Structure 1
Amino acid sequence: MKKLKESEKSYLDLAKKYEAAETVNQNLEKRIQDELAKNREKDYVLIQQSRLAAMGEMIASMGHQWRQPLNSLSLLVQDVREALEFGEIDDQYIDRFTRESMIQIKNMSRTINDFRKFYQPNKEKTLFSVGESIEDALTIFSTSLITHKIQVEFEYRGQYMAYGFPNEYCQVVLNLLANTRDAFVQNDINNRKIIIKLAETEKDITAEFIDNAGGIDQALLEKIFDPYFTTRIHGTGLGLYMTKKIMENMDGSVMVENIGDGARFCLSVPKVAAAVKPELMSV
């Protein structure tokens, strides 16, 4: 009888310990979920800050791209008064005026569409062409490249289809281009050049960005992807950090190393075949 009571007591003790352990586990799980939520919120804030910084860059670029068509439209409008005074306005003049005006307006409209496309968020992963996303980024950044006399060599064959967020990938490329441009300026480099190469393995599409901007201080290589870390005078320290976060969010990666007289950034993102189930690809 005594042994039975001791057994019951041991059972109750074990039950209490189990209940206490369950409570601890539940509390720990809740704390983990709370911390994950906080981290997601922090990442969201950083993404928005990064996008705002990129938006400033884009608005400046857009202003440069609009300058020429606006100037052409201004000349066309001013010519109307002189054409009227000299009696040159006829059907042929109106046709030419309309045709040339519409060419400039379409150029401006295309610029707006390029920027609007970039800022539309991708809520779900999708198939996209890495080459085309890089081309979109180069188009948006073209004015800055011309202004700072940066030559870009980029030649690719094939689609190099990946699985992820195309607009976010485009933002990553813009971050790298802006970072390299600033390095060229800060280091006062002549004959500025960026070489972009695409390659693929069984699982990944890899894009290499090789520059001759002087490289990165070896002591800083491990820190450049940290939030708010920057070597630029007016840098935010968010561009490369968000580059890392965006690539990881696509199950990809980014790495950097010094090579020759510059640096090599390497972006890897999953291929379609490695990321999508065969039955989904046939849908």
Structure 2
Amino acid sequence: MRQTKIDDFLELERRIEEEVNRSREKDKILFQQAKLASLGEMIGNISHQWRQPLMEMNSIFLPIEAKITLGQSLENSEILEAIEKLNSITKFMSDTIDDFRDFFLNDKEKTRFKILEQINSIINIVSTGLKTYNIKLDIIMKKNPEIVGYKNEFSQVLINIINNAKDELISRKIENPYIKISVFEENDFVIVTFEDNAGGIRVNPLDMIFEPFFTFEKKNGSGIGLFMSKLIVEKNMQGKLKAYNKNDGAFFEMKIPKE
């Protein structure tokens, strides 16, 4: 009897070890799939990230082209403003390539940067697209904290979440659409939150939105944006990225340690 119990225990132990190893293998496969999606299929993902900046570039040229066509005069300040925006957009597009290329490398250097610096760089890129659809963007900065991390990857997280909110606001034809970004400190953490009034995340369980290749109510979605965002925040910045439904829309909370 005692030998039987020992044999049963050993068999159970063996099965547990097999399940753990099988689970680890699944994690490795999933990680490799994510790596292939962001690196091996880089062109498709870059096109997804570049769609908004390219639209912004087009929207910058349209009023200039209209004035030239109608024989109206162009102020130097208008041309200089357009050039400044174009420089910002092309820099972001170049940085996007670097981000995808270096996403899973371990020899990247972390830098100390201010949150507002990155938010401003993103606003420069998305502002025209938001204005086109009358989407109001509010930025509430209780402080302008510094964090240590990969600032270009941090920008990718910002633009992914903003673009997701924008897409939902447009597709659902929301009246008086808005996106609100709040930045504050809480103990040893920097908190960045994103709110919108697009009606909330219609997925159950809600955390499915962070799974690789998951798309919902999006015809041209790649299903990689939020998955990558969570990886960047939690793997590369040792923080947390969570999503909730709050009031009349989605609520994303990014929690990053100061050091």
| TM-score, normalisation: structure 2 | 0.73
Is 1:265 the counterpart of 2:252 in the alignment?
yes
Query: Structure 2 counterpart of 1:132, which letter?
Result: E
Q: Secondary structure at the match of 2:184?
A: strand
Matched positions, count: 225
Q: Counterpart of 2:52?
A: 57
Query: Structure 2 counterpart of 1:61, which letter?
Result: E
- Cα gap change, 1:152 to 1:44, in 2 (>3 Å): same
- Cα gap change, 1:45 to 1:54, in 2 (>3 Å): same
Q: Counterpart of 1:248?
A: 234
Alignment counterpart, residue 193 of structure 2, candidates 208, 213, 220: 208
Q: Secondary structure at the match of 1:155?
A: strand
Q: Counterpart of 1:281?
A: none
Q: Distance in 2 between matches of 1:65 and 1:149?
A: 16
- Cα gap change, 1:50 to 1:243, in 2 (>3 Å): farther
- Cα gap change, 1:50 to 1:204, in 2 (>3 Å): farther
Q: Counterpart of 1:46?
A: 37
Q: Distance in 1 between matches of 2:171 and 2:72?
A: 44
Q: Aligned-pair distance for 1:171? A: 0.9
**Per-residue CA distance 1:151-207 (angstroms, 9 max, x = gap):** 011031543101111111111111111111111122221010111111112322110
Tell me if structure 2 keeps the 8 A contact 1:168–1:246: yes
Identity, % of aligned pairs? 27
More deviation in 258-267 or 216-225?
Answer: 216-225
**Per-residue CA distance 1:192-239 (angstroms, 9 max, x = gap):** 011111111232211010111101125141211011111123222111
Q: Secondary structure at the match of 1:224?
A: helix
Q: Which runs of 5+ in 2 are unaligned?
A: 1-21, 103-107
Alignment counterpart, residue 218 of structure 2, candidates 216, 224, 233: 233
Is 1:68 the counterpart of 2:63 in the alignment?
yes
Tell me if structure 2 keeps the 8 A contact 1:66–1:108: no
- Cα gap change, 1:187 to 1:108, in 2 (>3 Å): closer
Q: Secondary structure at the match of 1:263?
A: strand
Q: Secondary structure at the match of 1:153?
A: strand
Q: Distance in 2 between matches of 1:173 and 1:60?
A: 18
Q: Aligned-pair distance for 1:139? A: 1.5
Alignment counterpart, residue 168 of structure 1, candidates 153, 163, 168: 153
Q: Which runs of 5+ in 1 are unaligned?
A: 1-30, 81-95, 273-283
Tell me if structure 2 keeps the 8 A contact 1:115–1:140: no
Is 1:217 the counterpart of 2:212 in the alignment?
no
Aligned ranges for residues 20-31 of structure 1 at < 5 Å? none
| TM-score, normalisation: structure 1 | 0.67
- Cα gap change, 1:99 to 1:132, in 2 (>3 Å): closer
